[in-house]
């Protein structure tokens, strides 16, 4: 197995402030550990934006204060997200009605040899 992952899975979510504490507890103690037990998932790290974010649509950029959660998973291959184990743990469960926005992208990785 190479030191570098073949790809990254980047997931973002914005959740209602009223459930943020419960969301983080669930994500850290249930969801992320479940994901890390799936075949082909090497690592996962969580981040949260603080302060203003910048969004551009139709050539117009707006800055707003929002908290966006981002998790970056290192995967052995894009196929890791199609395993029965990964598919079984996907979803926001009781938090789904409180997720205001969500993105998911798989990014192929090429290691740079410097």
Contact 69, 47 (CB under 8 A): yes
Please, which pLDDT band fits residue 30 given cuts at 50, 70 and 90? Answer: very high
In 3D, which of 81, 84, 90 has the Cα closest to residue 42?
81
For the chain, the structural domain boundaries read: 7-108
Q: What is the DSSP code (8-state) at residue 42?
A: E
Over the stretch 71-94, which tens digit does the pLDDT of each residue have? 999 999 999 999 999 999 988 889
* DSSP one-letter string for 66-110: ---EEEEEEESSGGGGGSHHHHHH-S-GGGGGGEEEEEEEEEE--
Over the stretch 55-76, which tens digit does the pLDDT of each residue have? 888 999 988 888 899 999 999 9
pLDDT of residue 2: 62
What CATH architecture does domain 7-108 belong to? 2-Layer Sandwich (3.30)
pLDDT of residue 90: 86
Q: Is the pTM of this model over 0.75?
A: yes
**CA torsion sign, 112 to 86 to 47 to 50?**
positive
Percentage helix, strand, coil for the chain under 3-state DSSP, each rounded to 5: 30, 40, 25
Contact 38, 83 (CB under 8 A): yes
């Amino acid at each position: 197995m190479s030191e570098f992952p073949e790809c990254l899975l980047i997931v973002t979510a914005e959740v209602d402030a009223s459930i943020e504490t419960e969301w983080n507890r669930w994500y850290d103690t249930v969801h992320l550990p479940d994901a890390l037990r799936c075949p082909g998932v090497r690592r996962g790290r969580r981040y949260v934006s603080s302060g203003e974010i910048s969004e551009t649509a139709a050539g117009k950029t707006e800055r707003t204060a929002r908290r966006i959660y981002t998790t970056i998973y290192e995967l052995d291959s894009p196929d890791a997200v199609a395993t029965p184990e990964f598919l079984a743990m996907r979803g926001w469960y009781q938090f789904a009605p409180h997720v205001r926005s969500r993105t998911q992208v798989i990014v192929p990785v090429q290691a740079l040899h410097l």
